[in-house]
Amino acid sequence: MITFVQFSANFKGTDFKDEELRKFYDSVKKIIILRMAGKMSWSEIYRLEETCQWPILHRIGDPALSIYKGADKDLLERFIHTISEENDLRKKKASLDRVKYWSLLQSVIDERTSLFTQVFGFHKEDMDYCEKAAQRYSRIREKRIKTRKMMWKIGIGTGAATLTGAAALWYISKKDKK
């Protein structure tokens, strides 16, 4: 995988700040990991795409930009197509059904994620690392869900016991008044 220094060198002479590029660069790796983790991660993927990637992507949608000099033509064409497709989709968001919008956005992000592995030069070792990170992420998430469910059961049990006790006290107080 290319380093951040190599990545940011492609943007030399543009008006992008290093902070913006760093967020973009880091989000690519994270989205690849989250994508490997499965469908439970889509809300986080959408958030990352919206906050870290789209601010850069919508500004680099022109294939004539200097950052694309020497780029593979087919790869560049597919990459630019995903940007224009998402741009069109965002413009039509208000007129589309929510489910249709999110599923179309998901397919665009999926295609772009596979392109990122090629654009960023992911090797087998990089993909193995991402796969291991995705497995760890999935285990942590499953553990959190399991713990949350257990806490709900405890809370509901405690609440039920409290209500039962309160009902018993109410009954006893009514019985004593008679």
Q: Alpha-carbon distance 105 to 86, whole Å? A: 7
* Sequence-ordered strand ranges (E) for 38-114: none
Q: Which of 15-29, 83-97, 109-123 has the lowest mean pLDDT?
A: 109-123
CA distances from 34 to 96, 132, 134 (A): 26, 11, 6
Q: How far is CA 148 from the centre of its chain?
A: 22
CA distances from 105 to 83, 84, 91, 112 (A): 11, 12, 12, 11
| Domain regions of the chain by residue span | 1-122, 123-178
Q: Report the percent of the chain where pLDDT is more than 90.
A: 34
Instruction: Write the Ramachandran bin of 4: left for phi over 0, alpha for psi from -120 to 50, otherwise beta.
Output: alpha
pLDDT-based confidence at residue 176 (cuts at 50, 70, 90)? low
Residue 157's identity, in one-letter code, is: G
Nearest alpha carbon to residue 85 among 57, 122, 121, 51: 57
pLDDT-based confidence at residue 177 (cuts at 50, 70, 90)? low
Average pLDDT over residues 57-76: 86
Q: Encode pLDDT of 37-51 as tens digits.
A: 877 778 889 999 999
Task: Please tell me the predicted confidence (pLDDT) of residue 169.
Answer: 72
Is pLDDT at 105 greater than 70 in this prediction?
yes
Average pLDDT, the chain: 85
pLDDT-based confidence at residue 6 (cuts at 50, 70, 90)? confident
Query: Model's pTM, two decimal places?
Result: 0.72
The CA angle 116-120-122, to the nearest 5 degrees, is: 95
- The residues near 65 (Cβ < 8 Å, ≥ 6 apart) are 14
Quickly list DSSP for 4-37: HHHHHHTTTTSS--HHHHHHHHHHHHHHHHHHHH
**Among positive and negative, which fits the CA dihedral 122, 127, 133, 139?**
positive
